[in-house]
Amino acid sequence: MLGIFKDIEAWVTAVMERLGEPGVGLLVLLENLFPPIPSEIILPLAGFTASQGEFTLIGVIFWATLGSVIGAIALYYVGAILGRERTRYIFQKMPLVSMKDVDKTEAWFIKHEVKTVFFGRMVPIFRSLISIPAGVERMNMTLFILYTAAGSLIWNSTLVTIGFILGENFHLVAEYVSYFQYVVIALVLAGITYFIASRLRSAKINKSQ
C-alpha cells in the first residue's frame, strides 16, 4: 500500500510541477471522476508545496475547489443522461432489490438532497458518487453547485491547510484519512450484508407461505 501511495505521490508531484496551481485543480477534477485517485494525497501535498513558497495557500484551495465543482458537474450530467427511468430499469433487473426500497431511497434523497450533497462532499468515496443521484433527480443546478462548492471548500481547505502545517510530514494525512475511509467502507458493506440477508429472509418466508 505504501508503494502505491509513493507512486501516486510521484505522479501528483510531476503534474503540479508541470502545471502549477491549475494542476491541483486538474488532479482534483480527475479524483472526482476516478475516486481511486485519493484527495488525501493530492491536497496535503499541495499544501506542503504551498508551505515551501512554490504555491499560495489561497491559490491551491481555489483551484482544488474549482476542480471539485467541475468534476461534480460532469458526474451530475452522467446521472441526468442516464435518467430516472433507465436507473429504475437497472434496479428492476437486479436480484434482491425491491422497488419499494428504491422508491424510499429516492424519496429520502429528494427530501434531504441539499444536506446530502453538502455533507457528502466531506465523506470519502461518496463525495464523488453523490453527484450521480443528484443528476438523476435533476436537482436544481444552482443549489447543486452552491452546496457542492461549499462542502468541497471545507474538505479541500482542511486537507490543504493540514498539509501546509505538517510540512514534510504531510503524508500522515493520507494515513489517518484512510482509516476513516475504511470505516465508511465497513459501514457500507455491513449495510449491504444486512440488506441482502433481510431480502433472503423475506423471500424464504414468502415461499413457505
End-to-end, the C-alpha distance of the chain in Å comes to 50
Percent of the chain with pLDDT over 90: 18
For position 37, what pLDDT does the model report? 65
| Cell triple for 182 | 475504511
- Measured between alpha carbons, how far is residue 132 from residues 9, 116, 117, 138, 175 in Å? 28, 12, 10, 10, 28
Higher pLDDT, 70 or 47: 70
Name the residue with cell 491547510: 161
For position 192, what pLDDT does the model report? 46
Taking only the tens place, the pLDDT of each residue in 156-193 is 998 888 888 886 665 655 555 555 455 545 554 555 45
For position 127, what pLDDT does the model report? 75
Window from 4-13, 151-160, 189-198 with minimum mean pLDDT: 189-198
Q: How confident is the model at residue 145 (pLDDT cuts 50, 70, 90)?
A: very high
- Measured between alpha carbons, how far is residue 30 from residues 38, 72, 128 in Å? 10, 10, 10
Range of the domain at 89: 2-208
**Integer Cα distance of 91 and 60 in angstroms:** 40
**Integer Cα distance of 113 and 136 in angstroms:** 12
| Cell triple for 93 | 433487473
Across the range 49-71, mean pLDDT stands at 90
Name the residue with cell 424464504: 204
**Integer Cα distance of 60 and 63 in angstroms:** 5
Query: How many domains, the chain?
Result: 1
Residue 35 has pLDDT above 70, yes or no: no
**Integer Cα distance of 50 and 33 in angstroms:** 25
Q: Find, among 132, 24, 151, 153, the residue nearest to 78 by Cα.
A: 132
Taking only the tens place, the pLDDT of each residue in 77-118 is 988 888 877 776 665 665 555 666 556 656 667 777 888 888
Q: Which residues contact 114 (CB under 8 A, 6 or more apart)?
A: 143, 147
For position 116, what pLDDT does the model report? 84
Instruction: Give the CB-side neighbour count of residue 166, counting CA atoms within 13 A.
Output: 18
For position 1, what pLDDT does the model report? 47
Q: Find, among 27, 7, 29, 30, the residue nearest to 16 by Cα.
A: 27
Q: How confident is the model at residue 149 (pLDDT cuts 50, 70, 90)?
A: very high
Q: Find, among 66, 67, 69, 62, the residue nearest to 131 by Cα.
A: 69
